[in-house]
Amino acid sequence: MLDCRSHPNFDDLCEMKIGIVCYPTFGGSGVVATELGKALAIRGHQVHFVTYSMPVRLDFFSENIFYHEVAVSSYPLFDYAPYESALTSKLVDVVRSEKLDLLHVHYAIPHASVAWLAKQILASYGIYIPIVTTLHGTDITLVGKDLSYEPVVTFAINHSDGITAVSESLKRDTYANFKIEKDIRVIYNFVDLSRFGKKANEQFKSMVAPNGEKLIVHTSNFRKVKRVEDVVLVFDRIVKKMPAKLLLIGDGPERTAIEKLCREVGNCEHVRFMGRQEAVEEILSVCDLFIMPSESESFGLAALEAMACHVPVISTNTGGMPELNIHGVTGFLSNVGEVDDMARHALEILSDTETLSRFKSAAALQAQKFDIHVVLPDYENYYLDILERSK
């Protein structure tokens, strides 16, 4: 892997001013964008976040990090606030006033098309700003394929100066579903091992599993695509075979239905809804198994964070999951909806201490390949390529 520090123009690279546009929520694209910006700032780059609220992972002050809030005015004329127009104007203002070198937009809808429009307006001022668009998953596999969005998504991707995808699977899906005329660079999602590789909090573990129960965990935004109901059904098969507890981290539109399902199957006493958690690593570090039965996963960032905490993964074999979760080594892969197969594999991992220890070690070793310090130079080198190409 190339290290940008060996590049002859590294001094210029270190002076880059990068604008990052993302969703500021707990979703994977927002988390990756925020963690990337924080890591770039530590490396000496000046990073400007432009979004409608403070990103949830932007939890510390740095002299190289700046936040620009997009204010959307409310008028009786509009049924929906014109966020895209407000964001475009804000990008024009920030690029001009801060003299940014590059815009990196995360999630194609609407950020890629907004960036393109801002680029056209800036050109009228004699300012050229290259755009890198990172595709994260549902912007391509779900929302983007909607006929009402497809022309805009295709245009915006093709008019980006650089395009990255978080997995080979997502890259293939993009080419299969859109008429893309440009190369897509795969740069995997990453994890900060200095944060997620911490030692388990035994005091917390004794609180949630006072009798030494196995701890099963799932974290997501509780949307239908995450199939959280399958987590409950897999766990129900586990708890009938051994003492166990299920920790559900997150919240979202499916939570009420999941709570109802727990009551129906009769395992509520073993299930704890943890809600949204900022320090998710504190919970993951005490767990024994992570379950991700998603219908679609472009990469599986939540699974990677679990693996970094020495937690093996039971997941579906959809999207980019096989690129992360090695079947029979770091966990197991099953077809979507095959609850019995997932439960069988889960019980195999949890069957004895030696087997569980082996899977835990393999999961942590695999996570090292996606350490932020390994992946970050890929982004830095790509930025440099785009800037040099733009000249």
Please state, in angstroms and rounded to a whole number, the distance separating the CA atoms of residues 17 and 196: 28
Beta strand extents in the chain (DSSP E only):
17-21, 46-51, 65-69, 102-106, 131-135, 162-165, 185-186, 214-220, 244-250, 271-275, 289-292, 313-316, 331-334
The model's pLDDT over 38-73, given as tens digits with 9 standing for 90+, comes to 999 999 999 999 998 888 778 667 789 999 999 887
367 pLDDT higher than 70: yes
pLDDT band with cut points at 50, 70 and 90 for residue 30? confident
Please state, in angstroms and rounded to a whole number, the distance separating the CA atoms of residues 40 and 72: 28
- Tell me how far the alpha carbon of residue 205 is from its chain's centroid: 26
79 pLDDT higher than 80: no
Cβ contacts of residue 162 below 8 Å, gap of 6+? 130, 131, 132, 133, 185, 382, 385, 386
6 pLDDT higher than 70: no
Residues 292, 297, 301, 304, CA torsion sign: positive
The two three-digit tokens of residue 291, written as one number: 């379950």
pLDDT score, position 78: 66
The model's pLDDT over 353-365, given as tens digits with 9 standing for 90+, comes to 999 999 999 999 9
pTM of the model: 0.89
Is 303 or 147 the better-scoring residue by pLDDT?
A: 303
Give yes or no for a contact between 56 and 76, defined as CB atoms under 8 angstroms apart: no
Is 227 or 140 the better-scoring residue by pLDDT?
A: 227
- Mean pLDDT of the 99-123 span: 95
The model's pLDDT over 303-312, given as tens digits with 9 standing for 90+, comes to 999 999 999 9
The model's pLDDT over 248-260, given as tens digits with 9 standing for 90+, comes to 999 999 999 999 9
pLDDT band with cut points at 50, 70 and 90 for residue 264? very high
Q: Which domains can be identified in the chain, with CATH numbers?
A: 4-190+371-390 (3.40.50.2000), 193-368 (3.40.50.2000)
Peptide bond into 8 cis (omega under 30): no
The model's pLDDT over 210-222, given as tens digits with 9 standing for 90+, comes to 999 999 999 999 9
Give yes or no for a contact between 157 and 108, defined as CB atoms under 8 angstroms apart: yes
The chain-wide mean pLDDT, for the chain, equals: 90
pLDDT score, position 142: 66
Cβ contacts of residue 252 below 8 Å, gap of 6+? 220, 221, 222, 223
Strand arrangement of the beta sheet that strand 185-186 belongs to? 65-69, 46-51, 17-21, 102-106, 131-135, 162-165, 185-186
pLDDT band with cut points at 50, 70 and 90 for residue 1? very low
pLDDT band with cut points at 50, 70 and 90 for residue 103? very high
- Tell me how far the alpha carbon of residue 244 is from its chain's centroid: 28
- Mean pLDDT of the 105-133 span: 95
The two three-digit tokens of residue 1, written as one number: 């892997």
84 pLDDT higher than 50: yes
- Mean pLDDT of the 174-182 span: 92
The model's pLDDT over 304-348, given as tens digits with 9 standing for 90+, comes to 999 999 999 999 999 999 999 999 999 999 999 999 999 999 999
